[in-house]
Structure formats: C-alpha cells, structure tokens
Amino acid sequence: MRLLTSMMLAMFCNMNSHAQQLNIIPEPVSMQVHSGTLALGQDISWTTDVKSASLSLAKAQLEADCRKNITGLNTTNISLTLLKKEDSGIGAEGYLLEIDKDGIHISANKENGLFYGLQTVRQLLVTPDVPYLTIRDYPVVGWRGMMLDVSRHFFTKAEVMRYVDEIAAYKFNVLHWHLTDDGGWRIEIKSYPKLTEVGAWCVEKYGYYGEFSAPGKDAKYNYGGFYTQQDIKDIVQYAKAQYVDILPEIDIPGHSMAAVVAYPELSGTKDAVNYKVYSGEKGFMDWTDHGIVARYDNTLNPAKPEVYKFLDKVFGEVAGLFPFGYIHVGGDECAKNYWQKDPNVTALMQKEKLKNYEEVQAYFEKKVEAIVASKGKKLIGWDEILEGGVAPNATIMSWRGEKGGIEAARLKHQVVMTPNNYVYIDYVQGNKYMESKVYENLRLKKVYAFNPVPAGVDPAYVLGGQANLWTEQIFDFSKVEYMTWPRGLAVAESLWSPASKKDWPRFVEKVEQHMKLLDRDTVNYAPCMYEPDVTLQSGVCTFIPEIDGLEMHYSVDNSFPDIKSLLYKGPFVLPEDAVMLRVVSFKKGRPVGRIISIPVAELKKG
C-alpha cells in the first residue's frame, strides 16, 4: 500500500512538474496533463482535412519555431481536423488539443479555432519534449483588440504587419487602426488626394510631443507618410490570414486638423487656409475643468453640406478597403468653442431645435451613422458620442473608465470596453524616472485586473475589449513593442481566459518565460515589473515592488549598485546630503530589470 501511494505521489509530482512548465498565455479554459511525453523533431508531418490555404502562414510560423527550438531528428506529427459534428461548447473560435504518443491533434468547429490551437502549440514547442495533455479552450469574449495609433507617428507597412504577427500569436483578433488625427492623415483617398499630399506630413521634432516649440516659417513639412490603397489591401489580406480583422478609424469631427489643412472649406473658420498639420507644438489645445478649448479650429463644421459630401466619399472608399463590418468614427475630445461663434452653427441649432453643442455633435453623429450605414457598415465611436443623444444603432467604445460602457449597455447599445485606467498602454508602465513622461501610470498588475464585462452589466451587450496604444511619445516601432509587451500579455489573458483561471503570481512566472520567447524573436519589451516605485515622504524613502520575490539593492553614494550593495529591508531615512539614489533588483541571485537612477532633487518634488 505504501509502495502504491509512493508511486502515485511520484506520478502526481511528475505531472505537476510538467504542468508548471506549460506557460501558456492566455491560460486555457481546461487543461489536463497526463503521464508520458512526446519527443519532438525539427520536421513536421501535417495531416489535415482543411482544403483552403488559410492556415498556411500559421503552419509556416510553427515550422520556423521548431527549427529555432528543437534539435531532435524525429518528425513531429500534427493533425488538424474540422469537427463533422459541431461542439457547441467551444463555439466558433474554440479548439480541442490532444498530445499523445501519436503526435499533436487539434480539432475545432471552424478554421480560426484551428489557428488558435496552433498558437498554443507554438508556445509548447520550446523544449525537446512536451507532456501528453488534453486542452479544451475557447475565449470569454469575441472582440479581443489592440489599437495602434499611426497618426502621431507613422509606422511602415512592414511594421504594421509585424505588429499583426505579434498580437495574433496571443489570440487577439482585432487591430483597431487609428489612421487620422491632427498630426497626420495616413490613408490614401483617391477622391481627395490632398489628404495625403498635404495632410500626411508635419515637421520632424524630438522631445516631448505636445511641448515642442512652434515650427519656424521655413520649417520643412516632410515627416510622416501614408498607406496607399494597395498597401492597405496587402495589410488587410495579411491580417486575415491570421484571423485578425482590421477596424479603420477616421477620427471626426474633432482631431481633424490634417483634413482641415488639406481642405480648409471643411472648417467654419476663415483662418483655416493658413493652418498647418500639427507637429506636437505646445499650445494647440487647452484642457480646462470646463472642457476642451481649441486655439485652432481642428473640427469639421457640422453645418456645412460639403462636409457630409466629403464624408460620403471618404467612407465609401474606406468601406471598399476594409471587409470588417465596422468603421470607427472617433467622436472624442471635440472642442466646440469655434462652433459657438459660428453663425451657421447657430442657424443649424435653431432649425433643428438643438439645445446645446453636445446635441450639435449628436446631430453630426447621426448623419455620419446614416452615411456609414449606406456603405454597408456599422458605426462605432468613443463614448463621447453618448452625449447629446447617441445615434440609434451606434456601438460604443468606452475609454473614459467603464462608466460610458455601463451606460451604453443600459441603453441597449453594444459596447467594447477599453477603459483608460486599465488598458491605455501608452501610460507609464514602471518607475516614472525611467519612462517617457506621460500623465498617468499603468502597471502590469493593474492591467491584469481588467475585466471586459464589468459587474452589473448584461454581458449580452459587451462585444469584448481592447487595449489602446496612442503614440504621442512613441517615435519608432521598437518603442511600440516596448509599450505593448508584456502588458499585452495581461490584456490577452483578460480577454480570453475565464476570470477563475487568472492567477497573478502564476502569470508573473509565465511572463518571465515569455520574455525568453520575445528575446528569441527579437521583440522588444519592458522589464518594468522588476523595477519598484520609489517614494520619499518626510525624508523617509520607500520602495514599492510590483511582484514578490525581489531583493532590492541600492546606493546613495553615487555608485552603481550590485548584489553587494545595501539591501532594502524596509523604509529608511535618506542621508541628508545624498544627491543620487540608485536601485537594482535581483531575483534568485540574478539581476533583473535595470538600474534605476533617481536624482534626489527630483525625488523630493514627488
């Protein structure tokens, strides 16, 4: 009996050990690990009844991963099967994964389910052998998005495709593409060529976007770029091969300076003929307690018929380029001070019996919805379009916290949850002395707490959620990756995995393993979870780590700390004349993260 018990215990420990090695993100709904392992080889033998070529890219990616990780001479057998009898429990995107002595078997109701099964397998094939297992998996929400702003800074066609690769690997299925804003119009519209001839270009500047000096009279407006319609077709087709839909955003009626510069007649302001595309200079907008005040009119005028003629042609071309069923029309942060002094807007208000300027924007949005609907698409916009009366069939993207989404769902509108306090990944993600200056902080642990279906909301109205990456302070694609990962991993798990499967300490372990995969694939990421926040109050210094298990060593003598330096054991009094505090973290005797250097004068400012 004792021998049998010992054997069972040993078997359990072996199974548990293998389970600990299965660092799958997002966490599957159900996973059982069995005794035994499958020896892998560099070569793959495919068996499938899928006749289309839709999975060819995923298969090629997996084969490349094998060549990177596996040295064995065996052949790995992988079968892909579409279920003849639908498994209603896993839905359209779910999959079943079985690994046994005969190989790896993935089955699903639809081809995209097979694709997601392959993404899980890609994460498993990082060792020469994997345990026998059974996974049953499907997402908790259907809309799993990532937004990329290409207006403030332009990213190339190849970089956008790479971003698609990266998010698809973690089972995201929507790329929200922010294509227009004050800083640039990035999509070719053949009916209005000046949108890209003029509107796609600003002045190249570096520092803090929004605080740049004003461009001089001789400044060159040659920084930027745009996507031709062929570029867009290529990107859309590439994304479709990875089951990623692309949501185009044309941000109106505010955030429209690039369009106004190209076609001043879209504005109600005579001086618009002298405007230039916004280059990030200081003083463009005033943010007050009473709302947004524009110093330059960056809005499309809601009282001018030519504006709706313009939008009809623009949305006609956009609809023809993007097969996805939605078009995003922005609607956020629309300054209305120029409307307030426009006699044509006043006349419109009297004619349509509009009581305030929020209702003027609502009038505009309803006309825009009719245009979008005429192109066979559904309108989606930021939660400001709720103000003044929302367009009847609009879908709301809730960004100002969860309030707008909760209200929209109450009004029986479909909602995509993207609250800034959980998923705005342009926010500072670590110690503020190490990061680009942004007005808010959003740590990985807070992102991991995101729930796309807030308490008390009918889930029937929640399409899903997404993270948003605004790029004011992001000048190149490496920084895009740095801001996305690993926070994107937390978003992926929040949108796919059941809340009951989320486990912060276990997630941290998985992230550490995925950092190795990101290193392997030369994907940049932030090590910020290893770097503590540092506060100083009444001369007492406190380190606040984000994760457990760190040893934090520091110096106050201007040296660079190592494992022999002072060990942080709790709050301490900072020496009176210290000028520089430096901190570095260790985990299990190994340095992790970066050395944080903080001028004491800055620390005293808070």
For residue 10, what pLDDT is reported? 43
413 counts as catalytic = no
| Given the residues 65, 93, 181, 426, the one annotated as active site | 181
For residue 291, what pLDDT is reported? 83
Alpha helices in 93-249 (DSSP H): 111-124, 157-168, 194-197, 229-240
pLDDT tens by residue, 50-96: 987 779 999 999 999 988 888 777 899 999 999 999 999 999 999 99
Q: How far apart are CA 148 and CA 164, in angstroms?
A: 10
For residue 2, what pLDDT is reported? 45
Token pair 């090590």: residue: 527
Give the domains, in start order, of the chain with CATH numbers: 12-137 (3.30.379.10), 143-520 (3.20.20.80), 531-605 (2.60.40)
* Alpha carbon separation from 314 to 248, 318, 361, 545 (Å, rounded): 12, 6, 19, 49
For residue 52, what pLDDT is reported? 77
For residue 1, what pLDDT is reported? 47
For residue 390, what pLDDT is reported? 79
Looking at this protein, which amino acid is placed at residue 489?
L
- In the structure encoding, which two tokens stand for residue 26, read together? 């997002």
286 counts as catalytic = no
| Given the residues 333, 359, 512, 533, the one annotated as active site | 333
Q: How far apart are CA 552 and CA 531, in angstroms?
A: 9
| Given the residues 153, 255, 328, 553, the one annotated as active site | 255
**pTM of the predicted model as reported, rounded to 2 decimal places:** 0.95
Q: How far apart are CA 383 and CA 281, in angstroms?
A: 27
181 counts as catalytic = yes
For residue 392, what pLDDT is reported? 78
Low-confidence ranges of the chain (pLDDT < 50): 1-20
For residue 9, what pLDDT is reported? 44
Ramachandran region, residue 503 (left: φ > 0; alpha: ψ -120 to 50; beta: rest): beta
Q: How far apart are CA 474 and CA 413, in angstroms?
A: 33
First-to-last C-alpha distance (Å) of the chain: 65
Omega into 486 within 30° of 0, i.e. cis? Answer: yes
